[in-house]
Amino acid sequence: IHPTAARRPHAITVQSENTLYTEEHITSKFFNRGSNVSVSDGHFTITPTVQPYEFQTKRTVGKTGLLLIGVGGNNGTTLAATILANRHNITWHTKQGIQQPNYIGSLLRASTVRIGTDAATGNDVHVPVSDVLPMVHPNDLVLGGWDISGLRLDKAMERAQVLDYDLQRQVAPFMAQLGAPLPSIYYPDFIAANQEARADNVIPGTDKQAHLDQIRADIRKFKADNELDRVIVFWTANTERYSDIIPGVNDTADAILASIKSSHSEVSPSSLFAVAAILEGEPFVNGAPQNTFVPGIIALAERHQSFIGGDDLKSGQTKLKSVLAEFLVNAGIKPLSIASYNHLGNNDGHNLSAERQFRSKEISKSSVVDDMVDANRLLYKAPAAGEKGKGEHPDHIVVIKYVPAVGDSKRAIDEYYSEIFCGGRSTINIFNECEDSLLATPLILDLAILTELLTRVKYRQLPADGSAAQKDFAPLYPVLSLLSYMLKAPLVKPGTEVVNSLNRQRNALESFLKACIGVEGSSDLLLETRIW
Active site residues: 312, 361, 410, 488
Report the residue from 237, 294, 328, 482 that binds ligand NAI according to the rule CB under 6 A. Answer: 237
Contact letters (x/-) for ligand NAI, 198-217, by CB under 6 A?
Answer: x-------------------
Q: Does 148 bind ligand NAI (CB under 6 A)?
A: yes
Q: Smallest gap, in angstroms, from Cβ of residue 193 to ligand NAI?
A: 13
Q: Smallest gap, in angstroms, from Cβ of residue 260 to ligand NAI?
A: 15
Stretch that binds ligand NAI, among 125-133, 144-152, 226-234, 368-376 (CB under 6 A): 144-152
Using the 8-state DSSP alphabet, how is residue 26 labeled? E
Q: Smallest gap, in angstroms, from Cβ of residue 271 to ligand NAI?
A: 11
What is the total count of residues that contact ligand NAI (CB under 6 A)? 33
Q: Smallest gap, in angstroms, from Cβ of residue 32 to ligand NAI?
A: 33
Q: Which of 194, 78, 116 is closest to 445 using CA atoms?
A: 78
Report the residue from 28, 149, 170, 306 that binds ligand NAI according to the rule CB under 6 A. Answer: 149
Q: Does 440 bind ligand NAI (CB under 6 A)?
A: yes
Residues 354-393 close enough to bind ligand NAI by CB under 6 A = none
Q: Which of 400, 124, 145, 348 is closest to 238 using CA atoms?
A: 348
Q: Does 134 bind ligand NAI (CB under 6 A)?
A: no
Stretch that binds ligand NAI, among 113-121, 142-150, 219-227, 367-375 (CB under 6 A): 142-150
Q: Does 312 bind ligand NAI (CB under 6 A)?
A: yes
Q: Does 65 bind ligand NAI (CB under 6 A)?
A: no
- Please name every residue paired with 231 in a beta bridge, in sequence order, or none if there are none: 65
Contact letters (x/-) for ligand NAI, 266-305, by CB under 6 A?
Answer: ---x-----------------xx-----------------
Cα–Cα distance, 287 to 317 (Å, whole number): 16
What distances in angstroms separate CA 57 from CA 242, 473, 506, 520, one per listed residue? Answer: 37, 10, 20, 17
What distances in angstroms separate CA 480 from CA 298, 322, 389, 440, 476, one per listed residue? Answer: 11, 20, 27, 19, 8
Residues 314-333 close enough to bind ligand NAI by CB under 6 A = 315
Cα–Cα distance, 367 to 190 (Å, whole number): 23
Cα–Cα distance, 137 to 398 (Å, whole number): 36
Minimum CB distance to ligand NAI smaller for 144 or for 269: 269
Q: Which of 345, 316, 289 is closest to 160 using CA atoms?
A: 345
Q: Smallest gap, in angstroms, from Cβ of residue 202 to ligand NAI?
A: 8
Q: Does 236 bind ligand NAI (CB under 6 A)?
A: yes
Cα–Cα distance, 435 to 344 (Å, whole number): 10
Contact letters (x/-) for ligand NAI, 69-88, by CB under 6 A?
Answer: xx-xxxx-------------
Stretch that binds ligand NAI, among 17-25, 392-400, 433-441, 506-514 (CB under 6 A): 433-441
Minimum CB distance to ligand NAI smaller for 195 or for 511: 195
Nearest-CB residue for ligand NAI: 73
Minimum CB distance to ligand NAI smaller for 233 or for 450: 233
Q: Does 146 bind ligand NAI (CB under 6 A)?
A: yes
Q: Does 348 bind ligand NAI (CB under 6 A)?
A: yes
What distances in angstroms separate CA 407 from CA 16, 75, 163, 350, one per listed residue? Answer: 53, 13, 12, 10
Count Cβ atoms below 10 Å from residue 384 Cβ, excluding itself.
7
Report the residue from 67, 107, 439, 449 that binds ligand NAI according to the rule CB under 6 A. Answer: 439
The distance in angstroms from the start CA to the end CA of the chain is 58
- Dihedral-angle region of residue 88 (phi above 0 means left; psi in -120 to 50 means alpha; beta otherwise): alpha
Q: Are 240 and 356 in contact, with CB atoms under 8 Å apart?
A: no
Q: Which of 71, 434, 1, 430 is closest to 222 using CA atoms?
A: 1
Q: Which class for 136: exposed (0-12), middle (13-18), buried (19 or more C-beta within 10 A)?
A: buried
Q: Are 288 and 237 in contact, with CB atoms under 8 Å apart?
A: yes
Q: Where are the alpha helices (DSSP H) in 32-98?
A: 74-87
Q: Smallest gap, in angstroms, from Cβ of residue 292 to ligand NAI?
A: 11
Minimum CB distance to ligand NAI smaller for 70 or for 490: 70
Stretch that binds ligand NAI, among 59-67, 214-222, 300-308, 342-350 (CB under 6 A): 342-350
3-state secondary structure of 44: strand
Minimum CB distance to ligand NAI smaller for 139 or for 346: 346
Minimum CB distance to ligand NAI smaller for 491 or for 519: 491
Cα–Cα distance, 173 to 157 (Å, whole number): 12
Q: Where are the alpha helices (DSSP H) in 179-265?
A: 208-225, 253-261
- Please enumerate in sequence order all residues whose Cβ is within 8 A of that of 138, keeping only pairs 6 or more positions apart, or say none: 83, 86, 103, 106, 109, 445, 449
Stretch that binds ligand NAI, among 1-9, 17-25, 310-318, 331-339 (CB under 6 A): 310-318
Q: Residues in the site for ligand NAI, rule: CB under 6 A?
A: 69-70, 72-75, 146-149, 184-186, 191, 198, 236-239, 269, 287-288, 312-313, 315, 346-348, 351, 436-437, 439-440
